[in-house]
A and B are shown apart, each in its own frame.
Chain A
């Protein structure tokens, strides 16, 4: 792989850009691999990358039924933060955020990580107390956050209306090193680095069955034939239940549609990410100038990758009260993704009833921010059978009643 650099740009400029190579190879599957990862989204590719980088396991295939990064990795609102209340969540999300800081250098691929700051608005007294508590918890966890008053919120976000009639802004939880990254670039950067290590990323290759012998996975059936493996990692977000069914076990997962939208592009007006969890909307401005807006999930099981329009309406209606200046913006486009929700709204990185099969799912509505940390922990679990970061996220917690209850702790909006 040729490295990307200022020198490379100059070199290619001098020869009419004839020397750029493809970022990753598209090989046909081999007969057998040490490890197969199902799902070439951010989490799957990151898992493969850290298997190679941290554990030297490079005889790896990443199978993708569609195209690389075409699921939730390409459909989220690109927010990165780690201001969680519970220790296990803070640990893995902060690990991810920390890895994002140097991911561009690490991958030699510009993921456009922009630590512009994330603010979570407190718009009820309950939220004020909740976020003060989170700020204290974060201080103990080593996550830099701060509870700020409404004047500081107004200073950071001049376009905000802090005196809204129904939900005035009473303060906010401010994480200055949170922000956004280019979501496609994260998938592409990991894919390029994986391919460079000799891993095979096989797109348009749907897994149709999991072959098992005596409680072990021996391979998978795919639309490109049968492939053997020593270890299997299932990292397929909304379709986790479908894959688990093929592998003969169940997961405490329900798949729902989550939507986002962007407005027409406008001049720079807001240089942070703002989340308003009481009214359930969040907004940032992309580098192209579009206001990127996300809201809540639909209430019913859904595999359609589109959502109900009235949820978009509710989200926008709520945000217009807090940001009156967006009221005349036109919507440019809207899309949906299938998110995998667990009972406690925290993810699953776990062993399964099959000895050499591992599952990474349940990221629900907030997986993008966790990609590097999730891949790091999943790779460690697959390579060593134990990962301190993943330990608390095993499926055993549902049986044992030790939930990582962020849905209660944070209200909403993961």
Chain B
């Protein structure tokens, strides 16, 4: 079973304790934006076969949203981090780069 450590309460939470919230760090476009931007925001997803940054909610725990970096092929979790950021932390990216040479997710390589 997938387990993620909640960065807020520190609990090693099992999957049944969590709710998946989809891709992380989406740039939001609202009324007045172009059709293309709105489409990208609403529907286009990275959907990588490899490391993915995503949102999770500790719904049956402390209830807080947080971020996780996880491989969609091996389900290896590289780390979890706060929701109060719009980019993955640098040390986590370094860790992923070391573990997965050639890693790419959006502008991060």
Contact = CB atoms under 8 A, between A and B. Distances in A.
Contacts of B40: 250
Contacts of B23: 254, 301
Interface string B9-22: 00000011001101
A208 interface: no
B31 to A, nearest CB: 13
B74 to A, nearest CB: 8
A7 interface: no
B87 interface: no
Given A252-B44, A254-B45, A310-B16, A301 B54 contact: yes
Contacts of B35: 399-400
Nearest to B71: A303
A250 B16 contact: no
A253 B47 contact: yes
A20 interface: no
A104 B70 CA distance: 45
Nearest to B56: A300
A308 B1 contact: yes
A255 B15 contact: no
A131 to B, nearest CB: 28
Contacts of A178: none
Contacts of B44: 250-252
Interface in B2-43: 2, 15-16, 19-20, 22-23, 35-36, 39-40, 42-43
Given A254-B45, A343-B42, A399-B36, A301 B72 contact: yes
A241 B47 contact: yes
A255 B72 contact: yes
B73 interface: yes
Interface residues of B, number: 26
Contacts of A299: 19-20
Given A398-B39, A399-B39, A304 B47 contact: no
Contacts of A308: 1-2, 15
A266 to B, nearest CB: 30
Interface in B59-77: 70, 72-75
A256 to B, nearest CB: 9
Which of B23, B35, B39 counts the most chain A CB atoms within 10 A?
B39
B1 A310 contact: yes
Contacts of A32: none
A309 B1 contact: yes
Interface string A335-372: 00000001100000000000000000000000000000
A21 to B, nearest CB: 38
B43 A343 contact: yes
A253 B20 contact: no
A299 B59 CA distance: 13
B15 A310 contact: yes
Contacts of A239: 49
A108 interface: no
A105 B11 CA distance: 59
A139 interface: no
A69 to B, nearest CB: 21
A300 B43 CA distance: 16
A399 B19 CA distance: 28
A333 to B, nearest CB: 19
Given A252-B45, A309-B1, A304 B73 contact: yes
A242 interface: yes
A302 interface: yes
B1 A300 contact: no
B45 A303 contact: no
Interface in A252-267: 252-255
26 contacts: A241-B47, A250-B40, A251-B47, A252-B39, A252-B43, A252-B44, A255-B47, A255-B49, A298-B20, A299-B20, A300-B20, A301-B54, A301-B72, A302-B72, A303-B49, A303-B72, A304-B73, A304-B74, A308-B1, A309-B1, A342-B43, A343-B43, A398-B42, A398-B43, A399-B39, A400-B35
Given A252-B39, A298-B20, 13 more contacts: A241-B45, A241-B47, A250-B44, A252-B43, A254-B47, A300-B20, A301-B23, A301-B54, A303-B72, A304-B74, A308-B2, A309-B1, A399-B39
